[in-house]
Amino acid sequence: MTALAPCLTFPGMSEYIDHDDTGRSVGLVRKQAFTFGESGQGLVLDSGRTLAPVTLAYETCGTLNADRTNAILICHALTGDSHVAGYYSEDDPKPGWWDLMVGPGKPLDTDKFFIICSNVIGGCMGSTGPVSRNPETNQPYGAKFPVVTIGDMVRCQRRLVDHLGIDTLLAVVGGSVGGMQVLEWSVRYPDRVHAAIPLATTTKHSAQAIAFNEVARQAIMADPTWNRGDYYETGRPEHGLAVARMIGHITYLSDESMRHKFDRRLQDRVELSFDFEADFQVESYLRYQGNKFVERFDANSFLYLTKAADYFNLENQYGDGSLVAAFSRASCKYLVISFTSDWLYPTYQSKAMVKGMKKNGLDVSFCEIEAPWGHDAFLLPNERFNGLIRGFLDRICTGCNIGGEHAL
């Protein structure tokens, strides 16, 4: 293991933080780092450019068994990070972003499984990205950082898995953009994945999803302080990034959840102000979300990660336009889950991937879960969701003859 590469890292925190009141926690965890390409070739990207050196920030919890067959890789969503569960210190007020799901006795049970979660390249939470130092200039890359793809992210994760001495992953799990990485793993490295669990995701962005990302990117680039990506010494484009987050956050919710949370209720007033302050609770909420996001994320990283999501197209990359052909490369078992109120990646997109899987005779389980909270439902408490993942992994463990004993 190597130390974290020098970069302007941002404090890592998740999309949603929900405390688990059962007291079952993995406890203290630490951010680790794996670096490759320091001497010799780094990573040749899909764009044709080479990135070197490359650092991945990652976190592990649970224990790897003696034959190294109980490892599960968790892939985070767009602006998540490697801090998936537990706490960084005794007085840390917030756990990792999926603490509800990862821990002793939880669906991703650390008494049984060795959990790995890494921050994607292009991010700003310790992995190589626009905030990292360009070795050629010793300045932050900024907008000179090469455009990366979901495939590039997954190839970096494979290098990490190799570094940990793991030949085959028991499962790869992730939601949203993390689900795209799961799908990529399953067709790029079919002999290295027993099971794949893509959640609330898609095989390619719709025109609408691309449109929302483009508006968010334009909000950042229209901020004068963005300065063509060269702002690390002069001040960040906080207003543009906050607006971009507000746009994105709307797509994560649903009409029903917004009615339930806010409706047309006023914020700290009894009548309209007749000015441009935040009259409504939903306005105040979005402003709060935008301002909070600025504290923990980098604007350039937001540009790169949304572009990577827009570029993702599994059927073109692996099937010459056919999902059936793309999934002909796969051999793992799948659990595909969508949510009724997710209008960012609606259920019809999950059904399309399931159809492509089944036409190849793959072992596929699919469920659309009734949930009112929109796209972010996979990050929130849901007993049915928990039961589906727990049951699926139990079946995979039985098929692979994996238990919790014989730990290293």
Nearest to 113 by CA among 199, 177, 182, 172: 172
CB 329 within 8 A of CB 318: yes
3-state secondary structure of 286: helix
3-state secondary structure of 351: helix
Options 81, 99, 298, 342, the catalytic residue: 342
DSSP letter string, 325-341: HHHTT--SEEEEEEETT
- Sign of the C-alpha dihedral computed for residues 191, 192, 194 and 198 taken in this order: negative
- Judging by beta carbons within 10 Å of its beta carbon (0-12, 13-18, 19+), is residue 274 exposed, middle or buried? exposed
DSSP letter string, 205-238: --HHHHHHHHHHHHHHHTSGGGGGG--TTT---H
Options 82, 176, 301, 328, the catalytic residue: 176
Nearest to 94 by CA among 149, 36, 16: 16
Known binding residue 259? Answer is no
109 is catalytic: no
Q: CA-CA distance, 47 to 39, in Å (whole number)?
A: 21
* Cα-based angle 65, 68, 70 (whole degrees, multiple of 5): 70
Options 194, 205, 239, 375, the catalytic residue: 375
Known binding residue 46? Answer is no
239 is catalytic: no
Residue in the structure block whose two tokens are 């507000």: 246
Phi, then psi, of 369 in degrees rounded to 5 = -95, 130
3-state secondary structure of 350: helix
Q: CA-CA distance, 215 to 147, in Å (whole number)?
A: 18
89 is catalytic: no
Per the annotation, where are the binding residues?
245, 376
- Looking at the annotation, which residues are catalytic? 176, 342, 375
Per the annotation, where are the binding residues for substrate?
245, 376
